[in-house]
Chains A and B, each alone.
Chain A
Amino acid sequence: MNRDELKKMISLIDDDKLSEADAGEAKQVRPAGRTFWRKSALIAAAVFLVTISVYLVWALSKPGLWPFEKTNPATTSASTTETASMPVPRWDELEVQEQYISGAMINGIEYQSSVRAIDASLIETVLGSLQLSGYDFYADKTHQIEATYYQVKNIDPDCVVAVRYEGYEGYYGFFNSGYQFKTLDDLITRLNLPVHMQLNNIFIHNIWQGETQKELLRWDYYSLPDQKIVWDILLANRAIINEGESARYKLGWEIMSISIDYAPAGQSNIGIVLFDNGYLCTNILGSLQSFYIGKESVMAFRDYVLENGTLNKSISLETPGETTVPESYAGVATTQETTKSNIHTRNSLQQMSN
């Protein structure tokens, strides 16, 4: 392999990996929390008092002059602006579970951290202790903290453990997103889903139109009087093999998604998704678990929801009205017709996107 091939090779990294690498965003501007504004207000007040004091001293010593001609308002605004534009929260503004987010290596398994506390009643035996690290961006310093990890009641510790930070109350779920569940039963049993998977009673039906193009028209949100049907139809055949990531490119059209929480791993509003070609997928533990449950089961479930559910809301794609397309796009064909130059551009772009 030579240099050009090496560069080419990097350009051929799969889409899913590129998306994954873009998913973990850096912490953005901290939402306007009380602590932040309190600090800003204190700093602004302090600067204001200093300015007023300086002015009074100056005014009293130089009677007869207009003080405002001499004060420099930039001093005040510069100080407050600098404080207000801090892009990342300070280390001491973070809760302990937000500080130590680098995950953990336990018995050679990489666990991801979560920031939602686990109910203390679920905590069982101590499994061991470990050291966790966190990075203070401002001080360019890596902090370490001792922690203890525990078994969570009836959950396989190879999948999820609870961590308590030394000197702090509360337990937080750490999960192994790489765990390979063999079957649906394996997933249900190891994670104790009958107890811990919460169905949020939101069933979203995707309405498609047409056989070939299948433009998405709208999403209908249903709730059900009894959600046991999820277990009866979708999760009944537990012997089904988990195809995991390898099924990603086999998945058909998404026809229904179900909102769920899995509290032991700190996950909320994640999903079970049904595809028209018979696949059921979920992103429990942050990775794709895929099961072919069959078209009949998928359609039977969809029909049940449509017949027995309550339609709570519908969201449609807005009809395109005003366009914000830059002028440079004016003249681009707005129909399916393709001009010669478009064909050329398309071909070269397809090449580029390979």
Chain B
Amino acid sequence: MDDSAIIDLYWARSEQAISETEKKYGKLFHHIANNVLRNQSDAEECVNDTYFGAWNAIPPARPLYLLAYLGRITRNLALKKYYHIHAAKRNPIVTVSFDELEECLSDGHSNDLLWSDDQLSDCINRFLEELGSDSRKVFIRRYWYFDSVKDIMRRYQMSKSKVESMLFRTRQKLRAWIKEEGL
């Protein structure tokens, strides 16, 4: 079913909206949650919370991209849960991906939160728009969806070295971009 039709079901307060969402995106939401949590039951709970959240948020929301809107909720719920439950146990996928990203920070950065959401959003989105389509997708799969390098190789039929070098180059570019933007 088309996204706009699913959203209309939410607006009509039809519970079919949940089952249609689950049918269309359930697997992806589970993939996102499981990438973070590495635990089937925690991931399941997270996905259920996503549906519950969708039910409560739409209306009044009418998201343009249902997948991204709900995927974002799943990701944030999963990260919250991860930090809450697994603080002592490091999920290698999440921590490695964040550790990799830290290369993008310049030395001697402050611990104070200086930048607004708008500034951060503007910075990353303009940066991604400058990238080629492949590099952008690989970057997002790795650091937003928390896909492993192997998952990305399989998804885009790329070699390991290609994925890794693409990620490395993109991180270098992001580091330079952040510096140039004065962030």
List residues of A whose CB falls within 8 A of some B CB: 1-22, 24-27, 88, 101-103, 110, 112, 134-135, 137, 140-142, 177-178, 213, 215-216, 248-249, 254, 317-318, 320, 323-326, 328-329, 332-336, 342, 345-346, 349-350, 352-354
Contacts and interface: CB of A to CB of B under 8 A. Distances in A.
Nearest to A10: B143
B133 to A, nearest CB: 7
A225 B11 CA distance: 37
B38 interface: no
A88 B154 CA distance: 9
Contact of B140 (A21, A26, A318, A353): A21
Interface string B144-180: 1100000101111111101000000000000000100
B124 interface: yes
Per DSSP, chain A at the interface is mixed
9 contacts: A1-B115, A3-B109, A5-B114, A9-B121, A13-B125, A27-B157, A317-B8, A320-B9, A332-B52
B137 A325 contact: no
B101 A10 contact: yes
Contacts of B53: 345, 349, 352
B176 to A, nearest CB: 13
Interface of B: 4-5, 8-9, 11-16, 18-19, 22, 28, 48, 51-53, 55-57, 59, 61, 63-65, 67-69, 71-73, 75-77, 80, 98, 101-102, 104-106, 109-115, 117, 120-121, 123-125, 128, 132-134, 136-137, 140-141, 143-145, 151, 153-160, 162, 178, 183
B102 A6 contact: yes
Contact of A12 (B101, B105, B124): B124
B14 to A, nearest CB: 4
Given A9-B120, A352-B73, 10 more contacts: A3-B109, A8-B117, A17-B128, A22-B145, A26-B155, A178-B133, A326-B18, A329-B15, A352-B80, A353-B61
